């Protein structure tokens, strides 16, 4: 029965992709494309590989064994999430993105040049300091982190989470620098420094975010719906970098500069292809179904979202700050050892309310990313709006993987703060220059000086008014 369901899931996925490609709004930049890529790899391709090689690493690590019924529930729930997200995101973002006059990019880049450079000058020292601190924590086995016995969550008992995450600001700054340089080779110098520092931390999210944002910004600026050879090169570079960092969690990079005492949890050579934990959302979802509500006796009822209110407060200020959500109906650590678990969008939905929870969680994420597509690419569509959208949609990969609103909100100050600061500086500079119009972040068809000059020339030639 399970084998039949895996085949049916493959057929359903291919059918969904074919129907999606016939939609007017279909493009690589659309949120539906990002979710289909996530679902196709995690819940269609990898389950087939897992069945062939009989993956058992996560089961042994977590100390559980899902039943056939649990595994069937996971495949059905994953497909329900795919259908719900794709339909909802297409209903919200139902039209193709606006194309933009090339001259508008030149004008916006000219006005944002100094704001972006000043933003980089202000924030880079802080971000680099944070990166170096993260190197030290990784090399010394996260000496400042303690795992809470009740919840299994890692708690920072020495540092400040805001400073630790400040390293993420290098990612959007790298995107803006490449965009400002019109994607020419010299614009990648900052990106190269960021990539080296990020690789040494052993984490991949910020690097994937930056490469995805650059690729989408490039396609939108060129008015292209699908792959360009440069985008393919970026994807291959991402895959290679991701795999290398997975192997030793950045140890090889750190050892170029100093001795590394970071742990080697797993010898990747001992695992089957795709068996390592970075792609194991299938097994994580199975663990959730194994526990909730069979062993917990209840669902979470979306109580985990309450952590968005407590998370911003540093533990140094709030000594009795709850570990995790302030309201918890159960602990998954009572039923196994879910170390490093990322639940995924359908997994969080199931934990919240079963199948209805999956639909609700998918609709929430579709509203976020589909709404961003509609606002920034359909209704506005200017150069600044396209750059903003590239940053927004680049967060979807980790959002779909973790499945929580908290993950998205955690990244807002760091992934979008530099862009907002640059925009604010641009507005201040525009106000200090009398007669100079502000940065155009509105409709793509707003006339630029070049467009007005062209229209005046046409009137002079043809005699039309």
Would you call 443 helix, strand, or coil by DSSP? strand
pLDDT single digits (tens) 127-141: 988 888 777 666 555
In this prediction, residue 401 carries a pLDDT of: 94
In this prediction, residue 462 carries a pLDDT of: 43
pLDDT single digits (tens) 407-423: 999 889 999 999 999 99
pLDDT at 66 over 80: yes
- Place 161 in a pLDDT band, splitting at 50, 70 and 90: low
pLDDT at 390 over 70: yes
Nearest to 168 by CA among 410, 406, 344, 400: 410
pLDDT single digits (tens) 282-323: 999 999 999 999 999 999 999 999 998 888 887 777 777 787
The residue among 436 and 193 whose pLDDT is bigger is: 193
pLDDT at 244 over 60: no
pLDDT, averaged across the chain: 84
pLDDT at 152 over 90: no
Rounded Cα–Cα distance for residues 359 and 366 (Å): 10
Which residues on neighbouring strands pair with residue 147, listed in sequence order? Answer: 154
- Place 350 in a pLDDT band, splitting at 50, 70 and 90: very high
Nearest 5°: the CA angle 405, 410, 411 is: 105
Percent of the chain exceeding pLDDT 90 equals 55
Query: What phi and psi, each to the nearest 5 degrees, are found at residue 154?
Result: -85, 130
DSSP 81-140: HHHHHHHHHHHHS-SPPPP--HHHHHHHHHHHHHHHHHHHHHHHHHHHHHHHHHHHHHHT
pLDDT at 43 over 80: yes
407 and 398 Cβ atoms separated by less than 8 Å: yes
The residue among 65 and 202 whose pLDDT is bigger is: 65
| Mean pLDDT confidence for 155-177 | 80
336 and 320 Cβ atoms separated by less than 8 Å: no
154: CB partners within 8 A, 6+ apart: 142, 145, 146, 147, 148
Query: What phi and psi, each to the nearest 5 degrees, are found at residue 155?
Result: -115, 130
Rounded Cα–Cα distance for residues 146 and 185 (Å): 43
Boundaries of every domain in the chain: 2-450
272 and 55 Cβ atoms separated by less than 8 Å: yes
């Amino acid at each position: 029965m399970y084998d039949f369901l895996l085949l049916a899931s493959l057929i359903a996925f291919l059918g969904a992709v074919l129907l999606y490609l016939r939609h007017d709004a279909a493009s690589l930049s659309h949120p539906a494309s990002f979710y289909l890529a996530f679902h196709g790899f995690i819940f269609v391709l990898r389950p087939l590989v897992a069945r062939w090689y009989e993956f058992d690493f996560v089961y042994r690590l977590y100390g559980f064994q899902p039943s056939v019924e649990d595994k069937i529930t996971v495949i059905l729930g994953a497909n329900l999430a795919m259908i719900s997200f794709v339909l909802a995101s297409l209903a919200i973002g139902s039209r193709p993105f606006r194309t933009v006059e090339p001259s508008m990019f030149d004008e916006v880049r000219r006005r944002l040049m100094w704001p972006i450079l000043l933003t980089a000058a202000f924030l880079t020292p802080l971000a680099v300091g944070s990166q170096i601190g993260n190197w030290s924590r990784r090399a010394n086995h996260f000496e400042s982190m303690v795992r809470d016995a009740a919840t299994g969550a890692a708690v920072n008992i020495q540092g400040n989470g805001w400073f630790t995450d400040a390293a993420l600001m290098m990612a959007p700054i790298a995107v803006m620098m490449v965009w400002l340089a019109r994607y020419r080779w010299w614009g990648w110098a900052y990106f190269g420094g960021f990539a080296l520092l990020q690789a040494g931390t052993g984490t991949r999210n910020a690097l994937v975010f930056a490469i995805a944002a650059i690729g989408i910004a490039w396609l939108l600026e060129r008015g292209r719906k699908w792959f360009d050879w440069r985008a393919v090169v970026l994807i291959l570079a991402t895959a290679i970098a991701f795999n290398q960092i997975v192997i030793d969690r950045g140890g090889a990079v750190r050892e170029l500069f100093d001795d590394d005492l970071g742990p080697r949890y797993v010898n990747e050579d001992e695992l089957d292809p795709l068996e390592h934990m970075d792609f194991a959302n299938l097994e994580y979802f199975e663990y959730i179904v194994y526990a909730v509500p069979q062993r917990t006796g209840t669902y979470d009822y979306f109580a985990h979202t309450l952590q968005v209110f407590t998370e911003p407060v540093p533990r140094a200020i709030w000594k009795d700050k709850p570990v995790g959500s302030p309201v918890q109906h159960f602990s998954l650590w009572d039923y196994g050892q879910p170390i490093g678990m990322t639940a995924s969008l359908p997994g969080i939905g199931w934990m919240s309310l079963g199948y209805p929870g999956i639909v609700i969680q998918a609709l929430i994420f579709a509203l976020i990313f589909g709404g961003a597509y509609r606002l920034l690419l359909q209704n506005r569509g200017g150069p600044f709006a396209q750059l903003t959208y590239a940053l927004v949609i680049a967060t979807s990969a980790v959002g779909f993987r973790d499945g929580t609103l908290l993950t998205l909100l955690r990244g807002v100050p760091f992934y979008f703060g530099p862009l907002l600061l640059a925009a604010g500086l641009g507005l201040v500079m525009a106000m200090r220059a009398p007669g100079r119009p502000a940065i155009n972040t509105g409709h793509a068809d707003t006339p630029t000086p070049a467009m007005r000059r062209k229209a005046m020339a046409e009137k002079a030639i043809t005699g039309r008014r």
